[in-house]
């Protein structure tokens, strides 16, 4: 592979998206190697015995580049477009398909809120092409909001600016936090209105439309396998599995029954690590349906997601989930396992020994527990947890919940709590002072609840005799200062809807270094302001997007 790449033109210097030289790095392996829907009509319909349908994006009125990720551009070897309304914006809005691109919409199904929902598929997303990046890796360029496909059902194939900006911003922020995720190259305004009833209350309104160009090695989901298994399309099931293994796990070797089992183990392991990372940073996905679970263990499909502000394991940002709270923060590990069981059922024709599937699921539990213990130790600045720490951990969970405490601020500031020899002699207020900014309602009482725990914690830290500077640095590598707080994304949306890109640009830049102090941007690390407590888009989000 490296030899091929060395001979490819344009690897060193980034190219314009429309530069014909870039096409030498295009590939369409998904289209080439997997069974296609024989029909080529974008009319919504059930599709059978296929992994995808060839589609064309539907052009929009006035494509205009609103935001660009230089980081992803560099990865792909694509230069930032010179003109916001030039040829690159036309490609990124779906108005122009470049030679060498073979756009398709993937066929998938899924379990939504615990129930089999049948065929779903890319109803408003389409993969334009796979691009071999500057690092030699293959990544799909996928447009979201580029028009109807055979999988659009009753919907319009479009996306609104607010949800597109949220996906663009958060996927980049997650990457820089170190969480496995799909990424985003661009955000383009369509110049067309999209009608949405944001809270499903009969108040439909026109909103500005947008298209995000998402980037990932693969957008295949658990649901791509589930739909094939549901229709007993076993040849197609095997071909999709073989394709994913050969393309994304070549180290597992050529397909064979034991290779399928190892692959399932790997899916379980990756899923466990990603969910453990979500828990670390306080991310709530909001719609963990099996069609929103990546076969590569990436965070995928940013919809009504949210960030824990006041620590509350029962919190869900998704208004559709407000009653059942199936997808709340605290249940994410359990739901991921439930989803893996659905995937196990879909893969059972390939992995007939039940014990192999059970071993994968058991591996999920082990991987999650191990990752979670390592993360908890890092968050608390402890070298390792022991059984005696269980009470300390449970009590902290209860305390953070009982007194509305900002999760991000609490852990970040915990590194500032004095733990030196003099700590035992410190007055209560001095010990608590670093944590005060984390309390949402500080009537003086918050700290009193926490104090007995804090004193025990300080003693526990002191027993390990760590180097204070090394401990602090390790904590600060695990506990971000900056996350894409819900209200910050909303401020960026409000500004961009008025034509002001400065807020999103600043956020993108700051969120690229979430663990650095960046004191000049400290306002972006502050507690959620009170005006945002119940504001739509800041605390409650709907699936309407």
What's the DSSP call for residue 133?
A: -
| Number of residue whose CB is nearest ligand AMP | 123
165 versus 409: smaller Cβ distance to ligand AMP: 165
Give the x/- contact pattern for Mg ion in 243-282, rule: CB under 5 A: ----------------------------------------
Phi-psi map region of 446: left, alpha, beta (phi>0 left; psi -120 to 50 alpha): alpha
Binding to Mg ion by residue 419, rule CB under 5 A? no
165 versus 403: smaller Cβ distance to ligand AMP: 165
Give the x/- contact pattern for Mg ion in 297-316, rule: CB under 5 A: ----x---------------
CB neighbour list of residue 166: distance below 8 Å, 6 or more residues apart: 302, 305, 489, 493
The Cβ of residue 121 has, within 10 Å, a number of other Cβ atoms equal to: 26
Provide the CA 324 distance to its chain's centre, in angstroms. 22
CB neighbour list of residue 246: distance below 8 Å, 6 or more residues apart: 254, 255
Q: How far apart are CA 452 and CA 264, in angstroms?
A: 45
Instruction: Please state the closest distance from residue 147 (CB atom) to ligand AMP, in A.
Output: 9
Binding to ligand AMP by residue 204, rule CB under 6 A? no
Q: Which of 95, 149, 292, 545 binds Mg ion (CB under 5 A)?
A: 292
| Number of residue whose CB is nearest Mg ion | 301
Question: Rule CB under 6 A: which of 103-162 touch ligand AMP?
Answer: 120-124, 151-152, 155-158
Q: How far apart are CA 284 and CA 138, in angstroms?
A: 28
Piece of 18-26, 46-54, 284-292, 534-542 that binds Mg ion (CB under 5 A): 284-292
Binding to ligand AMP by residue 44, rule CB under 6 A? no
Binding to Mg ion by residue 142, rule CB under 5 A? no
54 versus 124: smaller Cβ distance to ligand AMP: 124
Rg of the chain over all Cα atoms, to the nearest angstrom? 24
Instruction: Please state the closest distance from residue 339 (CB atom) to ligand AMP, in A.
Output: 13
* Ranges of H-type helices in 178-305: 222-230, 234-248, 257-281
Q: How far apart are CA 514 and CA 250, in angstroms?
A: 33
Give the x/- contact pattern for ligand AMP in 299-338, rule: CB under 6 A: --x-x-----------------------------------
Binding to Mg ion by residue 236, rule CB under 5 A? no
Q: How far apart are CA 146 and CA 439, in angstroms?
A: 43
Instruction: Please state the closest distance from residue 302 (CB atom) to Mg ion, in A.
Output: 9
Give CB contacts under 8 A, 24+ apart, made by 325-330. 326/113, 326/114, 326/288, 327/284, 327/285, 327/286, 327/287, 327/288, 328/284, 329/279, 329/282, 329/284
Catalytic residue among 37, 265, 291, 356: 291
Phi, psi angles (nearest 5°) of residue 313: -60, -20
Binding to ligand AMP by residue 543, rule CB under 6 A? yes
Instruction: Please state the closest distance from residue 300 (CB atom) to Mg ion, in A.
Output: 8
Binding to Mg ion by residue 226, rule CB under 5 A? no
Residue 473: which of ligand AMP, Mg ion, none does it interact with, CB under 5 to 8 A by kind?
none
Active site residue 291: yes
Q: How far apart are CA 267 and CA 50, in angstroms?
A: 23
Residue 132 to residues 24, 179, 217, 505: CA-CA distances in angstroms? 9, 22, 10, 27
Give the interface size with ligand AMP as a residue count (CB under 6 A): 16
Q: How far apart are CA 361 and CA 269, in angstroms?
A: 9
Binding to Mg ion by residue 119, rule CB under 5 A? no
Q: Applying CB under 5 A, which residues contact Mg ion?
A: 292, 301
Active site residues: 291
Q: Applying CB under 6 A, which residues contact ligand AMP?
A: 120-124, 151-152, 155-158, 287, 292, 301, 303, 543
């Amino acid at each position: 592979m490296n030899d091929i790449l060395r001979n490819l033109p344009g690897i060193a210097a980034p190219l314009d998206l429309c530069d014909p030289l870039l096409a030498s790095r295009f590939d369409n392996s998904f289209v080439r190697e997997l069974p296609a829907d024989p029909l080529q009509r974008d009319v919504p319909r059930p599709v059978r015995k296929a992994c995808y349908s060839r589609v064309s994006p539907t052009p929009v009125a006035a494509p205009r580049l609103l935001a660009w990720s230089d980081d992803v551009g560099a990865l792909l070897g694509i230069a930032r477009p010179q003109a916001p309304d030039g040829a690159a914006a036309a490609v990124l809005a779906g108005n122009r398909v470049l030679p060498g691109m073979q756009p398709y919409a993937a066929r998938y199904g899924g379990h939504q809120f615990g129930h089999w929902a049948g065929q779903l598929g890319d109803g408003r997303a389409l993969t334009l092409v796979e691009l071999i990046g500057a690092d030699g890796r293959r990544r799909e360029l996928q447009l979201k909001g580029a028009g109807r496909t055979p999988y659009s059902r009753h919907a319009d194939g479009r996306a609104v600016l607010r949800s597109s900006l949220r996906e663009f911003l958060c996927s980049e922020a997650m990457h820089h936090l170190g969480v496995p995720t799909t990424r985003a190259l661009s955000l383009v305004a369509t110049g067309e209105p999209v009608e949405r009833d944001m809270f499903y209350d009969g108040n439909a309104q026109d909103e500005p439309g947008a298209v995000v160009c998402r980037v990932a090695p693969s957008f295949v989901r658990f649901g791509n396998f589930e739909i094939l298994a549901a229709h007993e399309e076993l040849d197609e099931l095997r071909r999709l599995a073989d394709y994913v293994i050969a393309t994304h796990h070549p180290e597992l070797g050529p397909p064979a029954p034991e290779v399928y089992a190892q692959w399932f183990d790997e899916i379980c392991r990756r899923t466990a690590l990603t969910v453990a990372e979500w828990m670390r940073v306080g991310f709530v996905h909001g719609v963990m349906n099996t069609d929103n679970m990546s076969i590569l263990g990436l965070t995928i499909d940013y919809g009504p997601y949210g960030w824990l502000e006041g620590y509350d394991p029962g919190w869900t940002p998704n208004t559709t989930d407000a009653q059942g709270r199936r997808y709340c923060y605290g249940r994410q590990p359990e739901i991921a396992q439930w989803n893996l069981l659905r995937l196990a059922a879909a893969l059972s024709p390939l992995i007939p020994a039940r014990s192999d599937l059970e071993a994968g699921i058991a591996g999920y539990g082990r991987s999650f527990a191990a990752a979670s213990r390592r993360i908890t130790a890092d968050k608390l600045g402890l070298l390792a947890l022991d059984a005696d720490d269980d009470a300390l951990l449970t009590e902290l969970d209860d305390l953070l919940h009982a007194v509305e405490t900002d999760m991000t601020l609490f852990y970040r500031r915990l590194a500032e709590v004095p733990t030196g020899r003099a700590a035992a002699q410190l007055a209560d207020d001095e010990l608590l002072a670093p944590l005060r900014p984390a309390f949402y309602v500080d009537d003086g009482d918050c700290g009193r609840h926490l104090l007995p725990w804090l004193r025990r914690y300080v003693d526990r830290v002191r027993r390990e005799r760590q180097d204070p500077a090394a401990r602090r640095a390790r904590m600060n590598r695990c506990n971000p200062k900056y996350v894409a707080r819900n209200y910050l994304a909303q401020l960026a949306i409000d500004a961009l809807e008025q034509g002001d890109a400065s807020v999103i640009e600043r956020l993108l830049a700051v969120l690229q270094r979430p663990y650095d102090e960046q004191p000049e941007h400290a306002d972006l690390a502050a507690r959620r302001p009170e005006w945002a407590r119940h504001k739509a888009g800041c605390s409650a989000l709907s699936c309407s997007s």
